[in-house]
Amino acid sequence: MRVRLLLTLIVAAMMLVPVQAGDVSVQQTDQQEDSRQPSANATTLYLWHDGINNAWTHFDANDTTSTEDGVFTEDIDNGLIDIDLRFRMNPELDKRLMMTVDGELRGTLKLDLEGDWTNGDNQGPCQNDCEQLNITVNYGMNELYRYHHTSTNQGEQEIPFTYRFTEEDNIWDARDGNPVVHVTMKLRGDRTTGFGGLTQTGNPASFTMYLGEDSRVDLPIHESTWEEAFQAGEDGMEEEESPGFGLVVASAAIAMAAIAQRGRLEEDE
């Protein structure tokens, strides 16, 4: 009987011990230390580019891998510039975000433009092959907002854009809601040089975007975002159902079988 009691106590203790995969506190600390992820004090996406092929965005106002002069530029004397920049969050979003319903997304692009980008006005070289500025904000595979800017001017300027969140688009589910800011525009230049370079006619085309704090998207992230219950999600595993729990159950089943077998042996004696 003493053996059966001892085994029963062991099984009970095993059932009460919580099992978790890895050191959760360490994982949470690592996430908090990544300044590129959103937090209660970091709710702005900043746009970055390496000046070659790579564009990205994240929540840190500093990035040493972006261009040293803080701008992205393409220019041409005579021809078409096709701007197609996808600023995808890198690293991927690792938190669920809840936007305030009716809260306002506020974005700004700072640009410096030259050339022609208007079709059909007979005031420049565009021949139905140009395109005015378009800004699209996506979260994961979902399009949140598209803005077509028709009042762009020559020279340096700031382009503001806004959007109000609804109940249908205010939840961004971590990597499945990874944000992307897509910027497109087509500009044409028609500068020509003659007489051995002594004369020039027409105008070049140039697209310059200022990066970092000059081109950004402010998000109305609700304070409930940072609560553990929201981060767990409706389909999140409860603590006792975390990886490793099956091992405890299996061990308990083996121990219970041993108790039953021991009981039968004692009864036979």
Q: So where are the chain's domains? A: 44-227, 242-268
| pLDDT > 80? residue 161 | yes
235 falls in which pLDDT band (50, 70, 90)? very low
The answer to whether residues 59 and 44 touch, using CB atoms and an 8 Å cutoff, is: yes
Give the model's pLDDT for residue 194.
Answer: 77
Average pLDDT score over residue span 6-21: 50
Quote the pTM value.
Answer: 0.76
Give the model's pLDDT for residue 123.
Answer: 87
Lowest mean pLDDT among 33-37, 48-52, 110-114, 178-182: 33-37
Question: Alpha carbon 147 to chain centroid distance?
Answer: 19
- Encoded tokens for 248: 């405890």
Please provide the average confidence, as pLDDT, over all residues in the chain: 84
Cα gap 209→85, rounded to integer Å: 11
| pLDDT > 70? residue 36 | yes
96 by Cβ neighbours in 10 Å (0-12 / 13-18 / 19+) ranks as: middle
Nearest partner of 179 among 66, 109, 90, judged by Cα: 90
Give the model's pLDDT for residue 188.
Answer: 97
Nearest partner of 229 among 33, 98, 43, judged by Cα: 98
**How wide is the angle at C-alpha 201 spanned by C-alphas 111 and 187, nearest 5°?**
30
Give me the long-range contacts of 146-153 (CB less than 8 A, separation at least 24). 152/111, 152/113, 152/117, 153/113
For 44-227, CATH number?
2.60.120
